[in-house]
Each structure stands twice: as structure tokens, then as C-alpha cells.
């Protein structure tokens, strides 16, 4: 049973979506693949990239882990611990998702299984890696159990896992990975739209020191009641119109406006700001595509709109660039 789920990039509205404002996101041609195969015995085994977190567990042990994680998340909600302390290691996300899905479906697995993850989505860089990996895992489990899975179930179960990483996820990552394509997303309601047809490049500036959850919480402390979110909303609404009319020059101008707002809320490291300024001087536009960072000099993925690949500028700043395209398909079995 092999399930594939795409990653995502936010084109406009990151952070603002947490405050009920719209965001535009698209699925991209980077994906997570979870392969599930039966095995002898009663162990649930995880084969993860790099080997970190790989291992075998009984269902009883996984149930104990789920209870511990649920308890820690409640402690986080009470402000007693940080979001980074909820999961002991990243691999616990997949163990939690496995047993949570079984519990939610009221199903039991009588034999052992091995779940193998392989992914081309950079981790911790604002590309929806956790949502895509969890969704591909849940889809593989559902197919293995021959469950007539409903999309709402995928969405609900993936959000339960996502909150352990991000605290209070908006749901954008899970929706886009589930359905593919491009959509405007506001307060849990998605409005599908066509994928952008202009040239885009994905620049890797490095994994941020702060997690998505930590960045979101820091921004909340400083800007929760700010009027800046209305400015984000105006940019995103105009961005949607520009995409629908394929107005590339307007898109580039709006990307610059969005970047300026992200700088204002403190999630674009100075080093990344210098790179984006060089892109703008060369006639393009660029912005971070996730939570960014509230510490350190790495900002995750930067999306560049330009006529040509920014290879030379990336070499100057020590970054790497690659073309990126939208994926019209969401999660699927292959």
C-alpha cells in the first residue's frame, strides 16, 4: 500500500491565516510517500529517512505514547510547556498518527506492519512536510484496512497530529495536501482556483532555528490585536485577482508587498532580507513561504518569481535554487 501526498507553498497570507484572514496556497511537485507492508508477528515498525526514530513497537506501547503526548499537549495549552516539548522526537508524530487513526476508526490490526517513509519535501522549511507525511500515512492505513475513508476524516485526523507540531494549525497544509491544486483559504473554508502559470523558483535558505509553532506563538504575543492583519488581507485578496487574470507584473508587485509585511512582523531574518533585496534589484520578487524564523539567520524556503533561475544570486548568498511547479493532484494511492 503506497500513498503519495504533495507538499505546499503559501503564495500569500502566511501568519495572517491564523487570525481569520485569507491565505493562498498551492500543492507542489515535491511529495511524501508512505508505503505500508504486512509483516510477521505483532510489531508495528517504522522505517524513516536517515534511520532516526526508526524501530518497532507493540500496539500497547503506541497507545501509551499517545496518552503521554495528549497529556503534554494539554500542558502546552495551559502554558506550562512549549510546543517543542510536546513530542520527544519528530518520529513520535507518525507513531501518534498511526494509533490515533486506529482509535478513530475503531479498528484493530491483527498482524504486524511496516511503514516506510520517503519524502522529497524539505523538513522544517514551511512546505507542509508534516501534513503531507501524516496524510500519506493515514491514507495508506485506510487503504490497508479497506476503510471507505471520507476526505473529512483525513483532514480531521491529520490536524490532530499537526497540532502537536504547530500548536494551533490553520489547516491550510492539510487541506492543500489532501486536495492538491491551488486555493484561497479562510477560516477553514477553501475556494479553489487555478494554479499559477508563471515561472517560480524555490530557494533553500536553511532550516530555521525556531519551529513553526514557536514563530507563530512569538508573532501572536506581539501582533495578536494589530491592524497589520488587515493589510495582509488586502494584499492576499489582490493576489487572488492577479492569479486569476494571470497578471504576472501585479503578482510580482504584491509579492514585494507581502514580503514587506512579513519583515514588519519579524519573521524574515536579516540575511534573507538581503537576498530578497538582491532579487528585487534584478527585477524579480521573493518572499518566505512558511512561518519564517524569529531567531537565527535561516528562513526556510523563499519563493522567487523571476524570468530566469536566480542561480548566480544564490551562489553569492550560499543558497540553492530549483524550479517549482504546482501539483494539480492531492493525496493518492500509487
Q: How confident is the model at residue 304 (pLDDT cuts 50, 70, 90)?
A: very high
For the beta sheet containing 320-323, the strands, ordered from the edge strand earlier in sequence to the opposite edge, are 285-288, 301-305, 200-204, 320-323
Q: What pLDDT, on the 0 to 100 scale, is given for residue 211? A: 81
Domains of the chain: 2-191+329-333 (3.30.230.10), 196-323 (3.30.70.890)
Give this prediction's pTM: 0.86
Question: In sequence order, which ranges of 32-125 are alpha helices (DSSP H)?
Answer: 59-77, 92-105
Distance CA 130, CA 124 (A): 8
CA 117 to chain CA centroid, Å, is 16
Q: How confident is the model at residue 107 (pLDDT cuts 50, 70, 90)?
A: confident
**Structural element, H or E, at residue 270:** helix 270-281
Q: How confident is the model at residue 49 (pLDDT cuts 50, 70, 90)?
A: confident
Q: What is the mean pLDDT of residues 296-314?
A: 93
244-280 pLDDT, tens per residue?
A: 899 999 999 999 999 999 999 999 999 999 999 999 9
Q: How confident is the model at residue 212 (pLDDT cuts 50, 70, 90)?
A: confident
Amino acid at each position: 500500500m503506497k500513498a503519495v501526498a504533495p507538499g505546499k507553498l503559501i503564495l500569500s497570507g502566511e501568519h495572517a491565516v491564523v487570525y481569520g484572514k485569507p491565505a493562498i496556497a498551492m500543492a507542489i511537485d515535491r511529495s511524501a510517500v508512505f508505503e505500508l507492508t504486512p509483516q510477521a508477528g505483532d510489531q508495528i515498525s517504522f522505517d524513516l529517512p536517515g534511520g532516526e526514530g526508526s524501530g518497532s513497537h507493540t500496539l500497547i506501547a503506541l497507545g501509551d505514547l499517545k496518552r503521554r503526548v495528549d497529556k503534554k499537549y494539554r500542558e502546552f495549552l495551559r502554558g506550562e510547556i512549549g510546543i517543542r516539548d510536546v513530542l520527544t522526537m519528530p518520529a513520535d508524530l507518525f507513531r501518534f498518527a498511526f494509533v490515533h487513526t486506529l482509535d478513530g476508526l475503531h479498528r484493530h490490526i491483527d498482524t504486524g506492519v511496516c511503514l516506510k517513509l520517503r519524502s522529497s519535501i524539505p523538513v522544517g522549511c514551511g512546505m507542509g512536510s508534516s501534513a503531507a507525511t501524516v496524510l500519506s500515512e493515514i491514507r495508506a492505513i485506510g487503504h490497508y484496512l479497506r476503510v471507505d475513508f471520507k476526505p473529512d476524516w483525513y483532514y480531521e485526523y491529520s490536524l490532530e497530529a499537526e497540532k502537536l507540531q504547530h500548536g494551533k494549525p490553520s489547516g491550510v497544509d492539510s487541506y492543500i495536501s489532501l486536495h492538491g491544486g491551488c486555493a484561497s483559504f479562510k477560516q477553514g473554508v477553501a475556494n479553489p482556483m487555478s494554479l499559477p502559470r508563471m515561472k517560480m523558483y524555490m530557494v533553500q535558505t536553511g532550516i530555521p532555528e525556531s519551529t513553526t509553532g514557536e514563530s507563530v506563538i512569538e508573532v501572536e504575543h506581539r501582533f495578536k490585536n494589530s491592524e497589520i492583519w488587515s493589510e495582509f488581507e488586502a494584499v492576499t485578496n489582490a493576489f487572488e485577482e492577479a492569479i486569476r487574470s494571470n497578471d504576472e507584473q501585479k503578482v510580482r508587485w504584491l509579492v514585494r508587498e507581502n514580503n514587506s509585511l512579513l519583515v514588519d512582523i519579524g519573521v524574515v531574518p536579516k540575511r534573507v532580507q538581503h537576498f530578497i533585496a538582491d532579487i528585487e534589484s534584478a527585477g524579480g520578487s521573493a518572499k518566505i513561504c512558511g512561518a519564517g524564523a524569529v531567531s537565527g539567520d535561516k528562513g526556510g524556503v523563499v519563493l522567487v518569481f523571476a524570468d530566469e533561475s536566480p542561480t548566480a544570486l544564490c551562489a553569492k548568498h550560499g543558497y540553492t535554487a530549483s524550479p517549482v511547479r504546482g501539483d494539480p493532484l492531492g493525496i493518492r494511492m500509487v
